[in-house]
Amino acid sequence: MKQRLIRAARYVASLAVGMAHMLLALWAGSAAGGWAWRHGYTLPYDTSSSAVMSAAIVFGLAAAGAVITLPEPWMTQVRLLVRGRTLLACEGCGGLISTTDKNDANTTPKELAP
């Protein structure tokens, strides 16, 4: 029972890390869009009456997308470290691999990969 509570607490903490990352992306998008709106930036060749609004939306989406995608490898490592798992770089392919043992306390023989 104690092991399950610890595992659940770690999982909730890793979800909180992910939620903080999403809130940071939303804030960055909102700040970039608001800045573009206040300074009157427009997109090239946009002469419509809503040119400033569309530029603010594009700036906000670009900023939020950058905040989501650029630090994603580090956020994955942080989330897995909070869960008690570590990732190392594979020497052959350069990708991230898990270093946890496949024979977990709650793993049955049917769940093990060959």
Domain range enclosing 11: 2-86
Nearest to 67 by CA among 31, 30, 22, 36: 22
**Tens digit of each residue's pLDDT (9 = 90 or more) over 74-96:** 898 888 888 887 777 778 887 77
d(CA 4, CA 8): 6
Q: Is it the case that residue 109 has pLDDT exceeding 70?
A: no
Q: Report the domain count for the chain.
A: 1
Decide if 15 is inside a domain: yes
Cα-based torsion angle of the residue sequence 57, 61, 62, 65 in order, rounded to the nearest 10 degrees: 180
Neighbours of 106 (CB within 10 A): 8
Under the banding of pLDDT at 50, 70 and 90, the label for residue 105 is low
94 lies in some domain: no
Q: Look at residue 65 and tell me if it is in a domain.
A: yes
* 96 part of a folded domain: no
95 domain residue, yes or no: no
